[in-house]
Amino acid sequence: MTLSSQDELLLNAYVDGELDPIEATRFEQRLRADAALNAQVETLRALRGALRSDLAEDVPSPELRRRIMAKSNPPPRADRNSWMALAASFLIGAVLAGATSFGALNYRSSDDLAEQLVSAHVRALMAPQPTDVASSSHHTVKPWFNGKLAFAPTVADLGAQGFPLVGGRVDVVRVEPVASLVYSHGKHLISLFEMPNTSGASAPVTSHKKQGYLALSWSEGGISYWAVSDTAPDELENFVKLFRAATANP
C-alpha cells in the first residue's frame, strides 16, 4: 500500500510514542477504520521485536569490561596510554570488577578499602554538596541516618575544638552502605566513614597514605572508623584523638 509521506511520518511517530495525546487519539481512530494502516503498525512493531530478539546475548565480554574497568583504576606509574601496561594491571581491574559485583574475587585488605574510601572522599569533594544532610548539630545528623544503615553511627560535635560538623551522607563501599560524617577544619574537609566491624575486635589507630590523602583507621565498640582528609597529618591525628575522647564511654 502507498502512504503519503506525511502519513508515513505519522505512522512512525505513533509507533515510537512520539505523538502527543491528541494526535495519538486521532491516529488510533484512523487505525480502527483502516486495516491496511493497522497492518503497517504491526509490521513496524514486528521489526522492533526482531531487532531486539537477541538483546540479552548482545553484551560485551567480561574481558572487555575488565580492561575498561582497569582504565578507571590504573596502577601507579603505569603508562595510561599503553594497553600493554593495562593488561599487566589485570589484577587491579579484577579487584574493581569485584567491587561492582562483576567478578567473584574477594578482597578484604585494608589497603583496597583505604583506596575506596579516599575515592568516596574525593567524589564528595567534586559533588555540588559534600553532604546529603547539612547540619552542624549531631541532633540533626544522627537521626538522619535512621533507616539508611544497619547500625547507628557515632556522631560527635567538635565545633568548639576547631572541627565543626558540616553534615553527613551515605556512601556505598563493598556494596554496603556506610555512614560518612563530614567535618571541616580551616579550608579542609574531613570525611569520617563508619561501618560495622565484622570481627568486633577493637583496633588501634593505623595510618594509610593514598594519592596524597591520609586515612587513619581504628575500631571500637563494633564499628570501624576511617578518617580521610588532605589536611596536615598532625591535624588529622588531633581530630581522631578529639573524636575518640568525645565518644568514649564514660
Partner 1 sequence: MNVDEASDQARFTEVFVPYLVDAFRLARWLAGSRADAEDIVQEASMRAFKYIRGFSGGNPRAWVLTIVRNTSYSWLAKNRPKDVVLSDDLNQDDREQFEQAGTQEMQTPETALIAKLEAEQVRKAMASLPAPFREILVLREIHDLDYCTIAEVAALPIGTVMSRLARARRLLSATIANGIP
Binding footprint of partner 1 on the chain (CB under 8 A): 1-5, 8-9, 11-13, 16-18, 39-40, 42-44, 46-55, 57-61, 64-65, 67-69, 71-74, 76, 80-81, 83, 118-119, 122-123, 126, 211-212, 230
Residues 6+ apart with CB under 8 A from 31: 37, 38, 41
Given the complex with partner 1, which of 120 and 156 has the nearer CB atom? 120
Given the complex with partner 1, which of 2 and 249 has the nearer CB atom? 2
Given the complex with partner 1, which of 156 and 190 has the nearer CB atom? 190
* In the complex, least distance from residue 85 CB atom to partner 1, rounded to whole angstroms: 13
The runs of H, that is alpha helices, within the chain are 5-15, 21-33, 35-51, 62-71, 83-88, 90-99, 110-126, 138-144, 233-247
Query: Quick one: cell of 59?
Result: 553484551
Given the complex with partner 1, which of 130 and 153 has the nearer CB atom? 130
* In the complex, least distance from residue 232 CB atom to partner 1, rounded to whole angstroms: 16
**How far is the C-alpha of 82 from the C-alpha of 53, rounded, in Å?**
37
Question: What is the full DSSP assignment across 13-25?
Answer: HHHTT-S-HHHHH
* In the complex, least distance from residue 240 CB atom to partner 1, rounded to whole angstroms: 22
